[in-house]
Structures are given as structure tokens and as C-alpha cells.
Amino acid sequence: LVLRLLAAHRTQVELRSLELAAAKIVVAAAVVREGKLLVQQRSYPMSLAGKWELPGGRVEPGETEVEALVRECHEEMGVVVRPLGRLGPDIPLPGVGLLRTHTAWLDAADVQPRAVEHRAVRWVAAAHLAGLDWVAADRVLVPALVALTEQV
């Protein structure tokens, strides 16, 4: 019996480390300009369409988080952001991995972000952030996003 319990425990430990190895990082950008935060409205999948999130996406193999953040913002909004540093906690994305947020700079002289893959892109003041219909993971970030938006 002891041996069987030990074997079961080992299997669990092995499964857990496989899970951890498979955990993917999704990076998100918190871009603030003139007291407003840049947010996007999802157009897919159906269950998330209409909800708001930070720009971002999966870090691809061989890519750093910073590279992924710059690439995703360019693909999604046609702009080149400059990542500055981490913001807030890592948030578990069930079945996907972890959502990790970086603040990022977007020069005022740059082209305006536009919705390439999303339904809409909007600049939102701190006072209106809590009232958005956020996707679940990003909602956890709202206190950190409000603090950031108030301070920039």
C-alpha cells in the first residue's frame, strides 16, 4: 500500500511539473497617455465578444516578453509601444497560463491606435475604468490600472 501511495504521489508530482512547463505567458500592455488608459474591446470568441481587455497576447517560443508585447501591440493596433516595466500581479488564465502586465509608452506623435483585430479601441479615464465590462483576468488589474492612470 505504501508503495502504491508513493507511486501515485510521484505521478501527481510529474503531472504538476508538466502543467508548469506548459504554462504559457500572455503579456498585456498598460499604456497611459494624458491621463487615459488604452483599452480594447474583444470581437471573439462569442463568449468574450464585447468585453474589454488590455492589448496583448501569447509570448511565442524564442521570443522575450518585451518582444511579444511590442509585436502584439503592432499587430492589434498598428502602433509601436516601448515597454517600461512590470505592473501588478501575474494572473492565472485557466487552461492557458499566466497573464503578465507591463506598462508601456506610446509617443503622442505616433499614429493613433486603431482596432485591427478588435471591435474597438478606446482611451479611458481612471474614473471610468471600474465601470467597464472587463474580461475576468484583466478585471483583477483594475486597482493597479486606476493607480497608474491617476498618476500619469
List residues near ligand C5P by CB under 6 A. 26, 28, 53-54, 56-58, 93, 96, 99, 135, 137-138
> What type of residue sits at position 7?
A
Provide the minimum distance between the beta carbon of 3 and ligand C5P in the complex, in angstroms, as a whole number.
Answer: 41
Question: Which of 4/58 has CB closer to ligand C5P?
Answer: 58
Three-class SS of residue 91? strand
Question: Which of 12/44 has CB closer to ligand C5P?
Answer: 44
Provide the minimum distance between the beta carbon of 151 and ligand C5P in the complex, in angstroms, as a whole number.
Answer: 21
Question: Which of 49/147 has CB closer to ligand C5P?
Answer: 49
d(CA 99, CA 139): 12
Cα dihedral angle (72, 68, 96, 7), rounded to 10 degrees? 170
Question: Which of 1/46 has CB closer to ligand C5P?
Answer: 46
Provide the minimum distance between the beta carbon of 58 and ligand C5P in the complex, in angstroms, as a whole number.
Answer: 5
Provide the minimum distance between the beta carbon of 4 and ligand C5P in the complex, in angstroms, as a whole number.
Answer: 38
For the chain, the first-to-last Cα distance in angstroms comes to 62
